[in-house]
Amino acid sequence: MTAAPRKRLGDRLIERGVLTLDRLKVALREQERHHRPLGEILQSIGFVEEKDLVSLLAEDHGLEFLTAKQVRPDPLLLSMLDPAFVRAARAFPYELDKGTLKVLLLDPDDPATIEHVRERFPYPLVPALTTEKELNTLVRVHLDTRSSRLSEILAGAKESDGQWTQVEEIVEALLVDAIYKSATDIHVEPEELVTRVRYRIDGILQGVDNLPSHMTQSIVSRIKVLASLDISERRRPQDGRLRTRVGEREIDTRVSIMPTQYGENVVLRILDKTDGVLRLERLGLSLSQQALLREISARPHGLFLVTGPTGSGKTTTLYGMLAEVDAVHRKVATVEDPIEYQMPLIRQSQIDPAIGFSFANGLSTLLRQDPDVILVGEIRDGETADIAIKAAMTGHLVLSTLHTNSSIQAFARLGNMGVERFLLEDSMIGAMSQRLARRVCTTCTREVPATEEELRWLGVQEAMLKQGTGCDLCNRTGFQGRIAVVETFLPDEASLEALRDGKGLEHVERVAEANGFKTLEQEGKELVLAGMSTMDEILRVACGARVTRKAA
């Protein structure tokens, strides 16, 4: 009996719902031009994720696909492992069971990997597959000692002819350590006696190794060289960009340098492109919120705004919406500052105020390029607002950000910029206000009874809430990753009438609530009751307040 032929990769990805037929056709045309494997092309242009391909590979080999959270390594095996071995072998042995070794692999067909593992562990192997990102997470959580390595480098550094040795290694260790700890920013902050280094992880700054103050200038100069900045200029701010590779991951880093009292302060914003653009389902949004944003992304025209403070994920959400747009049949273009992620099939432009290329004239020029969907990085002034409104009224879908505390305030802010109310009514789809709250770690979570304070805030009589106790995976914080807290205001006739009559924002909010609108705090309460975050987190990010949790 002849075995049924295996379905092609594209067909299988379509069946799983991670790829559309139109996008497959685009990738196949790209394959004809460049003669590369289809899976590699699909991942490189952001149509699928690495885990989608690896899980299919595991299925083909009859193996399990496992993530870092699904693996509980044997302590005895951990004592026999080191980061260099795992990264060289591209394998992570995690359990010795009845004389067989369970091991995570990246490539089951690589004989060098099998040989490498068997040299150290002479047991029959039971392989499972994982992605490089998950393998790096296991190394970071269970094995990595780069912080101590940084201390060793600092201790061994010597001065020669006014220059310090090992500066290159120190800067590399800082970057790699931050990347493996999933930091979004590195802060190098000179003080009188020491230079502090802090990482921003899940939105919170955490201190790591300090640098001796006498080495700071050499380290800053090395960063400037990597970012193609002027090392002789120490009195003026400078901005640049550098690119580095960590394993198979390509990392872009934005560099900002500012003179301060004790030296130049450096902030490096890490842009990890490994995952590409995050899709809506991975942003921590509810299913109803995802469906709403997809519906807005499919509209032919109108203006939709995402509001919130800096670092609240506004641009990431807009990128997620653009990823839902049928860019094969609609022309999608952006004007940004800066371009954070490159997106397939989308024409992206970066503004440059130094040469007069602002959001306003960039948007004006873009309208002559026959676009269907436009992303404007930010509406900062009345001129940009006016052009965006007129573009929305003339058949374009315009997505942008605005700095306001709430979604309803976006309408008042545009009015303050000089946009007439009747134009807002005709062109605005709505606005969404967003914050990012830390998510309770799913590895060390436990259920605890809500305190009286929490019950009053939640408005319930009793509740069991979730709390992280702290583990290696979450760096003992009880939180891992972040989740979006959002409120979406799509004005109905009653809300528009309240806005038209010049009623106060509180009155407009009450009218909207009567028709189903939920504020950030109300949405946050639902996340707490669902065990995804905590009261303290919601109050910190959504209400501008912090309440100290009392012991249960």
- 49-60 pLDDT, tens per residue? 888 888 988 888
Confidence at 548, pLDDT banded by 50, 70, 90? very low
73 falls within a domain: yes
State whether 261 and 178 are in the same domain.
Answer: yes
**Which pLDDT does position 547 carry in this prediction?**
37
Is residue 464's pLDDT more than 70? yes
**Which pLDDT does position 545 carry in this prediction?**
36
- 93-125 pLDDT, tens per residue? 999 887 889 999 998 888 888 888 888 888 899
Q: Report d(CA 405, CA 307) in Å as an integer.
A: 7
Of 433, 360, 372, nearest in space to 403 by CA:
433
State whether 235 and 362 are in the same domain.
Answer: no
- 135-151 pLDDT, tens per residue? 888 887 787 654 456 66
The sign of the CA dihedral 111, 114, 117, 122 is: negative
Is residue 157's pLDDT more than 80? no
For residue 80, what is the domain's CATH number? 3.30.300.160
Domain limits at 198? Answer: 146-272
Q: What is the mean pLDDT of residues 348-376?
A: 90
Burial of 249 (0-12, 13-18, 19+ CB in 10 A): middle
State whether 195 and 255 are in the same domain.
Answer: yes
Q: Report d(CA 519, CA 528) in Å as an integer.
A: 14
**Which pLDDT does position 551 carry in this prediction?**
32
Confidence at 159, pLDDT banded by 50, 70, 90? low
State whether 260 and 288 are in the same domain.
Answer: no
Better pLDDT: 158 or 421: 421
Q: Show the 3-state SS of 150-184.
A: HHHHHHHCCEECCEECCHHHHHHHHHHHHHHCCCC
Query: Model's pTM, two decimal places?
Result: 0.75
Check whether the bond before 338 is cis (ω within 30° of 0): yes
524 falls within a domain: no
456 falls within a domain: no
Is residue 471's pLDDT more than 50? yes
DSSP-derived secondary structure letter, 441 = P
- 487-510 pLDDT, tens per residue? 999 998 888 888 877 778 888 888
How, if at all, do strands 397-402 and 263-272 pair? unpaired
Any idea which of 194-208, 279-293, 319-333 has the lowest mean pLDDT? 279-293
CB 484 within 8 A of CB 317: yes
State whether 190 and 332 are in the same domain.
Answer: no
Q: Report d(CA 68, CA 55) in Å as an integer.
A: 14
Q: Report d(CA 404, CA 188) in Å as an integer.
A: 30
Residue 550: CA atoms inside 13 Å, Cβ hemisphere, count?
A: 7
State whether 259 and 289 are in the same domain.
Answer: no
State whether 210 and 159 are in the same domain.
Answer: yes
Q: Report d(CA 516, CA 499) in Å as an integer.
A: 17
The number of distinct structural domains making up the chain is: 3
State whether 228 and 334 are in the same domain.
Answer: no
Q: Report d(CA 152, CA 166) in Å as an integer.
A: 11
State whether 16 and 99 are in the same domain.
Answer: yes
455 falls within a domain: no
Q: What percent of the chain has pLDDT over 90?
A: 39
Confidence at 546, pLDDT banded by 50, 70, 90? very low
496 falls within a domain: yes
E strand or H helix that includes residue 438? strand 428-440
State whether 290 and 202 are in the same domain.
Answer: no
**Which pLDDT does position 152 carry in this prediction?**
67
CB 185 within 8 A of CB 268: yes
537 falls within a domain: no
Boundary residue ending a domain (77, 110, 135): 135
445 falls within a domain: no
Amino acid letter for position 199:
Y
- 433-462 pLDDT, tens per residue? 999 999 998 888 999 999 999 999 999 999
> What is the rounded average pLDDT for all residues in the chain?
86
Residue 387 CA to its chain's centroid (Å):
30
Any idea which of 333-347, 349-363, 368-382, 536-550 has the lowest mean pLDDT? 536-550
Better pLDDT: 500 or 381: 381
Of 360, 359, 361, 367, nearest in space to 333 by CA:
367
Q: Report d(CA 27, CA 137) in Å as an integer.
A: 30
For residue 200, what is the domain's CATH number? 3.30.450.90
Is residue 478's pLDDT more than 50? yes
Better pLDDT: 437 or 168: 437
State whether 129 and 157 are in the same domain.
Answer: no
Boundary residue ending a domain (80, 108, 135): 135
For residue 306, what is the domain's CATH number? 3.40.50.300
Is residue 394's pLDDT more than 80? yes
Confidence at 237, pLDDT banded by 50, 70, 90? very high
Q: What percent of the chain has pLDDT over 70?
A: 91
Burial per residue of 387-400, b for 16 or more beta-carbon CB atoms within 10 angstroms, e otherwise: bbbbbbeeebbbbb
**Which pLDDT does position 550 carry in this prediction?**
36
**Which pLDDT does position 7 carry in this prediction?**
79
State whether 512 and 431 are in the same domain.
Answer: yes
35 falls within a domain: yes
Residue 509 CA to its chain's centroid (Å):
30
User: Which 3 state secondary structure label does DSSP give 479?
Assistant: strand
